[in-house]
Amino acid sequence: MEMRAITDYLGHQASDMLSEEPFVNWAVDRSLEEDLDPPFVHYVFPKRGLELRCGMDERVSVIFLRSDEDDAFDDKLLVPAFSFLWNRDQVLDHFGTPSKSGAKRSHPILGDYGAWDRFTRSNYVVHIEYRLDADVISKITLMRADIVP
């Protein structure tokens, strides 16, 4: 069976993703975040570099993919394929001109974070953040187009 594109899960029930390979075999922690507006359901896959944010209806609205020493998503699972080892130029070659970009910066509350690029697709948005200390991807955020801030 061919692997589904991870973006295919956006807007669908989290249970769809949780019942398919390879996710069905991964440990997952589910929590309810009721203190935020709107409240949401949060799924974290420890040591897998994957998090889901769902509405209270359990439909996936955001997928977070990380790549760091302790918590890394296996980029071989990305369909269509690309790599966390890509530098910014490679990302731009692959995705084209970003709809928005930002430089690395230091925020008094959020702390330091790397440069980023956002790419708008027909029904979702890809937000790529780069590491502070190296020109490689640190985090990929996939969002339904109707919830992008």
- Note if the pTM is more than 0.85: yes
Contact call for residues 100 and 149 (beta carbons, < 8 A): no
Tell me which architecture the domain covering 6-147 has in CATH: 3-Layer(aba) Sandwich (3.40)
pLDDT tens digit sequence for 62-105: 999 998 777 788 888 886 778 888 999 999 999 999 999 999 98
Give the separation between CA 62 and CA 24, rounded to whole angstroms: 19
Q: Write down the domain spans for the chain.
A: 6-147
Contact call for residues 98 and 119 (beta carbons, < 8 A): yes
The pLDDT value given to residue 125: 95
The dihedral built from the CA positions of residue 148, 99, 126 and 115, taken in this order, carries a sign that is negative
pLDDT tens digit sequence for 5-54: 899 999 999 999 999 999 999 999 999 999 988 899 999 999 899 999 99
The pLDDT value given to residue 1: 43
